[in-house]
Chains A and B, each alone.
Chain A
Amino acid sequence: MTPAPDLDPRGLRVSPARSERAVPFSLDGRELVGIEGEPIAAALHAQGVQVLGRSFKHRRPRGLHCVADACPSCSMQVNGLPGVATCSAPLRAGDRVERPKGAPSAEHDLLAAADRLSALTPVGFQYRRLRRSPRLFHHWERVLARLAGAGRPPTLEAAGAVSAGAGFAVEHCDVAVIGGGAAGLAAATSLARFRHRVVLVDAGEPRNAAASGVHNYVSRDGMPPAEFLAAGRAELRGYGAQLIDGCVVGVRPAPSSSAGSRFVVELAGGRQLTTRRVLAASGLVDVLPQVAGLARRWGHDVLHCPYCHGWEVRDQRIAVLVSSALAVHTTLLWRQLSPDVTLVLQAGVEPSDEQWERLAARGVTVVTGPAEEVVTAGDRLCGLRLAGGHVVDCDAVAVSTALHARVEFLAPLGLQPAPFAVGDTVIGSRVEAGPTGLTSVPGVYVAGNVTDLLGQVAGSVNSGLVAAAAINMSLIEEDADAAVAATRLAVASVVPLPDASPVSVFSAAGEREVCARVLGDRRHGL
Chain B
Amino acid sequence: MPIPGVTARSLRDRYDVVIVGGGLQGIALGYELAKLGVADVAVLDASWPGAGASGRNGEMIRSAFASEEWCRLFDHCLDRWHGLSAELDFNTLFTPAGYAVLAATEAEAQGLRDQLPRHRELGIESEWVDAERAREIVPAAHPDFVRGAMWQRRGGFAHHDAVLWGYARAAARQGVEIHAFSAVEDVLVAGGRAEGVVVGGRRIGAGVVVDCAGAFAREVAAMAGVALPTQRLLLEILVTESVQPFLRPAVASLALMGYCHQTSRGEFVGGTEWKAENPADDMGVSLAGLRDMASKWVRLFPQLAGLRVVRHWSGLVDHSPDLGPVLGPAPEVDGFVLCCGWIYGFMGAPGTSELLARYIVDGRMDPRMAPFGVDRLHEGRLVHEAALAVPAEEPA
Contacts and interface: CB of A to CB of B under 8 A. Distances in A.
B266 A149 contact: yes
Given A154-B307, A159-B303, A240-B275, A137 B91 contact: yes
Contact of B244 (A131, A152, A169, A234): A152
Nearest to B240: A83
B8 interface: no
A169 B305 contact: yes
Interface in B209-242: 241-242
Interface string A237-272: 100101100000000000000000000000001110
B291 interface: yes
Nearest to A82: B243
Residue among B264, B302, B306 with most chain A CB within 10 A: B306
A156 B303 CA distance: 5
Nearest to A170: B295
Given A168-B294, A169-B295, A150 B85 contact: no
A82 B267 CA distance: 13
A278 to B, nearest CB: 19
Interface in A81-139: 81-83, 100, 127-135, 137-138
Q: How large is the interface on B (under 10, 10 to 19, 20 to 34, 35 or more residues)?
A: 35 or more
Contacts of B89: 131
B144 interface: yes
A49 interface: no
A171 B291 CA distance: 7
- Per DSSP, are chain A's interface residues mostly helix, strand or loop, or mixed? mixed
B105 to A, nearest CB: 10
Interface in A132-165: 132-135, 137-138, 141-142, 144-146, 148-156, 158-160, 162-163
A239 to B, nearest CB: 12
Q: Taking each of B266, B299, B305, which has the highest tally of chain A beta carbons within 10 Å of its own beta carbon?
A: B305
Contact of B303 (A153, A234, A237): A153
Interface string B261-278: 010111000000011100
Given A135-B96, A153-B243, A234 B394 contact: yes
B318 to A, nearest CB: 23
Given A148-B242, A148-B265, A150-B243, A134 B95 contact: yes
Interface in A183-210: 197
Given A135-B96, A138-B96, A169 B298 contact: yes
Given A83-B241, A131-B91, A134-B96, A145 B264 contact: yes
A134 B246 contact: no
A162 B305 contact: yes
A83 B268 CA distance: 14
Given A148-B264, A151-B244, A132 B140 contact: no
A80 interface: yes
Interface of B: 82, 85-86, 89-97, 140, 144, 156, 162, 241-246, 262, 264-266, 274-276, 288, 291-292, 294-295, 298-299, 302-308, 394, 396
9 contacts: A149-B245, A153-B246, A155-B303, A159-B304, A163-B305, A168-B298, A169-B299, A170-B295, A171-B291
